[in-house]
Amino acid sequence: MRPAIDLLRAVGPLPEGAVVDLGCGSGMAGPALREIGRRLLGVDLSPAMLAKARATGVYDAVTEGDVADWTPDEPAALIYSNAVLHWLDDHETLLPRLAAMLPPGGTLAVQVPRQNNAPSHRLWLSLADELFPGRVDHDALPEVMLPAEYHRLLDPLGHVTMWETEYYQELEPEPGAHPVRRFTEASFARPVLAPLDEAERARLISAYEAVIGKAYPAGPKGRVLFPFRRLFFTLTV
């Protein structure tokens, strides 16, 4: 929750309108967003995730929809997106479109991982390209622009704040698996593993397991200290 809360803390005073949790997932950030005291709307593409968000009881409404072409049903003072937009393409079009939905004084608040150059992520791709050349669709990988590119895009639209933070997560040991492998294969590595058959996936995972411990060694208690970099920005129009 720390990145979600850090993003929320950067939001200043808001005009009239609802708060939209764009890509709300299971509603993890919902209780914190509820503290703003506005009508709270959740949007996500997954019905299963929306059911979990609805079950929190903090959202006034949840809507199934694709963030890429979502439009609000009512005025939104804050569009908040925590760890979602890196899965979408064409930020050059998407972000100005979202900004245009805000009233004067409204805020777009975004957090995305910026971890692709770290060994945890880079090794999945380099090993896959080595073992199975041409099989991985690089365009399907989650990606973000450079901070300077976001600033160039957003600065003409309003007041921009931007920062990066590297969070250190202590990952617990898991029998037969390096915890960084388990952490990343459920997110970044999904499009890397998807085109491979079961035997090929096992081969890639074995190759990853053989080297990942050198980049992220376990401590005396078996835990691994895992640095994870995230990019934040807010735009107030």
Q: Which pLDDT tens digits describe the chain residue by residue (237 residues)? A: 999 999 999 999 999 999 999 999 999 999 999 999 999 999 999 999 999 999 999 999 999 999 989 999 888 999 999 999 998 989 999 999 999 999 999 999 999 999 989 999 999 999 999 999 999 888 778 778 999 999 999 999 999 999 999 999 999 988 889 999 999 998 899 999 999 999 999 999 999 999 999 999 999 888 999 999 999 999 999
The CA–CA distances, whole Å, from 127 to 120, 135, 140, 184, 197 equal 12, 12, 17, 14, 16
Residue 80: the pLDDT is: 98
Closest by alpha carbon to 159, among 106, 203, 93?
106
Residue 177: the pLDDT is: 92
Residue 10: the pLDDT is: 96
Instruction: Provide the H-helix boundaries in 37-188.
Output: 47-55, 91-99, 119-131, 147-154, 179-185
Look-up of token digits 């006034």? 60
Question: Strand locations in the chain, DSSP E?
Answer: 18-22, 40-44, 61-64, 76-82, 107-113, 159-171, 224-236
Angle (CA) 102-233-12 rounded to 5° is: 60
pTM for the predicted model, two decimal places: 0.89
